[in-house]
Structure 1
Amino acid sequence: MPTIFPVKSAATIAILGILLSLAGCDREREPQSASPEDRPPVGKLKSKRETFERQASGCPEEECASVSITREVFEQRPALNRAVLQQLIRQLQGNGEDQTSANSLEEVADIFLAEAAQGHVGSSARWQLTGEAKRLARRDDLLTVEINSYLYTGGAHGMPATHWLNWDLAADEEVPLSETIRKGQEKDFWGEARAAHRRWLDTQPGTDREFRETWPFRRSNDFRFDDQGLVLLYNVYALGPYVLGPVELTIPWKDLRGIVHEQYLPEKQ
């Protein structure tokens, strides 16, 4: 009947209008969502190297205090780049120890060169501050960035320092050592680390009882995974005198079963 068709059409049009309105609302909310799809894609990492250099003025070039910092900057990874830069800034201050008086590489250079100008009085030493941040390794979605610094203010040698920053590319966040260890397994983990330390001592000449008492085992938060297992990094003076340099202790994969989360273990070991 002719009177039925207009009623049906009106209802249909009303329903379609509601659906279109809801769809429009959904489209407006999409940019505000923080879904995994919004995270940077995980795949081949593209990067470029950036260099920052400063030198003291009013002195012969070969005698001037200098600052030279090179870092790898990753495309589409602003959070990672911020974390690396923040660690680099902290590390470049105070003999490699984390400091927070400067908030940029420019401020780091200003402070260092000002101190160098005062330190040069009565000294012929050429002060140097260098830094570098670069990718060291990648296992699946876990990227390890190595951050190095070196400070020389005269004397027999300078002070090097290294930090390993581990970054989950899928979650786009840093992975501290504590998050790789299963809950309740911290004691066993450090027991295995002590065993790795004893194995290292047994391979070093001159590590007698006096040495072991003077340089006891200590914990480190610097770590990375490699083909052999989990590696703990210790900077100079942590486990021995300067001449030994930095020390790496490896906990084999076979000793990590049941201690670290399965996602970090290789399929076959």
Structure 2
Amino acid sequence: MPTRPSIKSIATTAILAILLSLAGCDRGRESQSDSPENRPPIGKLKSKRETFERQASGCTEKEECASVSITREVFEQRPALNRVVLQQMIHQLQGNGEDQTSANSLEELADNFLAEAAKGHGESSARWQLTGEAKRFARRDDLLTVEINSYIYTGGAHGMPAIRWLNWDLAADEEVPLDQVIREGQENDFWGEARGAHRRWLDEQPGTNREFRETWPFRRSNNFRFDDQGLVLLYNVYALGPYVLGPVELTIPWKDLRGIVHEQYLPEEQ
């Protein structure tokens, strides 16, 4: 006759079955939470524009009032992207972080700026201005570029503009920095191509003699985007030349990027 299993062996088998079932459920939950189905949709991006405005209290003549005006594009189902854009905008609107009174919100930013404007009212007759705008600039497949503009005027001959290109991988739902685009071990070659783009730009500018080139040497920038011609590096005012030149863009052609940047960012060879 076959031997009946003992009560102890039956209990042990049951416990093992329960544990295996729970482990399977945990794996299922993990794979479900990481699955592409739970990520934001990649198709058409829906958004709305939000505007935040403040002006100095007690000021009756609007044209003479210190003011804050910020407009940003807010994307539906993209909280991580919206958070990073807002953080970058706040950073820029404080003079790229040079202000020691760092704000954590637009409201705090406006309060700090208008308080400083009130202190400086007697030093300058011109009204202080703080403006910013964030909007989608370009999209190549899953790579979205958001342009963040800022302008700070606190008296004097002119204000300080700044532009930041924020690149966002819509599939991974995360920012794409320049060092992630460049292949490992190709950094020196990349910056060599960037120097070549800088030399070409200098050759096209009138008045860029030897003195100019020594005064405004090449420097690196992690501010970039892709366009139909290649990878574009952006330099804000005073980076590669005097204020009058405005922002400078250096383009590294696609043909010079093959083998240097990851294939996923390159167009198909014609």
Aligned residue for 2:25? 26
CA distance in 1, matches of 2:142, 2:200: 31
RMSD: 2.2
CA distance in 1, matches of 2:213, 2:78: 43
Aligned residue for 1:116? 117
User: How far 1:123 sits from its partner (Å)?
Assistant: 2.3
Counting only pairs closer than 5 Å after superposition, residues 109-258 of structure 1 correspond to structure 2 as 109-258=110-259
User: How far 1:27 sits from its partner (Å)?
Assistant: 9.1
Aligned residue for 2:71? 70
With normalisation by structure 1, the TM-score equals 0.88
CA contact (8 A) 1:220 1:232 kept: yes
User: How far 1:61 sits from its partner (Å)?
Assistant: 1.5
CA contact (8 A) 1:162 1:235 kept: yes
CA contact (8 A) 1:49 1:73 kept: yes
Q: Which moved more, 1:235-244 or 1:113-122?
A: 113-122
User: How far 1:89 sits from its partner (Å)?
Assistant: 0.6
CA contact (8 A) 1:131 1:149 kept: yes
Deviation per CA, 1:121-170, whole angstroms, max 9, x where unpaired? 24211000000000000000000000000001111110000111000000
Q: Aligned letter for 1:185?
A: Q
Aligned residue for 1:9? none
Q: How many residues align?
A: 252
Q: Which runs of 5+ in 1 are unaligned?
A: 1-14
Q: Which runs of 5+ in 2 are unaligned?
A: 1-13
CA distance in 2, matches of 1:209, 1:156: 28
CA contact (8 A) 1:91 1:98 kept: no
With normalisation by structure 2, the TM-score equals 0.88
CA contact (8 A) 1:69 1:130 kept: yes
User: How far 1:29 sits from its partner (Å)?
Assistant: 6.2
User: How far 1:58 sits from its partner (Å)?
Assistant: 1.3
Aligned residue for 1:12? none
CA distance in 1, matches of 2:108, 2:269: 48
CA contact (8 A) 1:236 1:246 kept: yes
Seq. identity, %: 82
Aligned residue for 2:39? 39
